[in-house]
Amino acid sequence: MSLQYVIGIDHAVVMVGDLDAAAANWQRLGFTLSPRGTHSPALGSGNYTIMFGQDYIELLGILSPTEHNAPSRAFLAERGDGIERIAFTTTDAAKGADELRDLGLDAVGPIDFGRPVPLPGGGEGEARFSIFQWPLTEAPAGLRIFACQHHTRDTVWIPELQRHANGATGLVRVIVTAPRPESDARHLLRLIDGEQFSEPDGSVVVPSGSDRAEFAFVARDVLAQQYPGVSLDGVPERGGAGLIIAVADLAATEQAIGAAGVRIGDRLVVPPRAANGVLLVFVAR
């Protein structure tokens, strides 16, 4: 990626209608979740995070309707649970927003906010962030993107929250369904000033930067061919569809996940209906 202040995928935002029920569901899949967080009244949302070494998954729910969360409420109303947004890591939100403007993109922000963090050992800390967003109209395959600068990493990347019964260690790929994968991949390229390449399985891949997870755009029928025997109910024709997650030991992952997982060669797959609209694919790395 040519953007100077954006260094790759930071986290995936999974929008859910029932936040606490979703948290219990992902715990059953062997993930360790942070204590529930509550955002500011202006944001009107709450979350649980699933932390890995350098990235994470955020389960996000609406606690009260606000102007800020109107797009998220519209997403839930139209699609239901699923991947709504992808965040990049930015080293400087203000300079990153200016960099987008230099590319002719009307960046939103930066916006500074924080939330209290209940600490696993007791007590409370604070997580503080600055974010900027690409314009809402610039969403490749309908997937919104933004960038996040972490000012208090020690209250987010807590060591005990990074140990998962299923052995998950980090994000490898974000799967995005698109009827015209190459077109939507080119859209993302224009937004992040990056590059793309095609794979033999029909995916069009866009690296997100550095050693972070990549994007893979793929038609829904091709995705079904990649994961035969796995129901894709809940996966949209166009939008955030799934996550490929690295694990330390696939056999241990299979034991932790139990009947929810389907083994396909060297991958363990959890269908979207068992993971709040997200196709989860675990691979040993």
pLDDT tens digits, 233-277: 999 999 999 999 999 999 999 999 999 999 999 999 999 999 999
Q: Average pLDDT over the chain, rounded to whole? A: 94
What pLDDT, on the 0 to 100 scale, is given for residue 122?
Answer: 77
Over the stretch 79-91, which tens digit does the pLDDT of each residue have? 999 999 999 999 9
CB-based contact 33:27 (threshold 8 Å): yes
User: What share of the chain in percent tops pLDDT 90?
Assistant: 83
Q: What proportions of the chain, in percent to the nearest 5, are helix, strand and coil?
A: 25, 35, 40
Q: Which of 267, 241, 271 is nearest to 259 (CA)?
A: 271
What are residue 181's phi and psi, to 5 degrees? Answer: -55, -40
What pLDDT, on the 0 to 100 scale, is given for residue 1?
Answer: 60
Angle at 282 between CA 81 and CA 53, to 5 degrees: 90
Token representation of residue 100: 């987008």
pTM: 0.95
For the residues 113-121, what does the mean pLDDT come to? 79
- Integer Cα distance of 55 and 168 in angstroms: 11
Rg (CA), the chain: 18
Token representation of residue 75: 């997403």
- Dihedral sign (CA 188, 239, 244, 221): negative
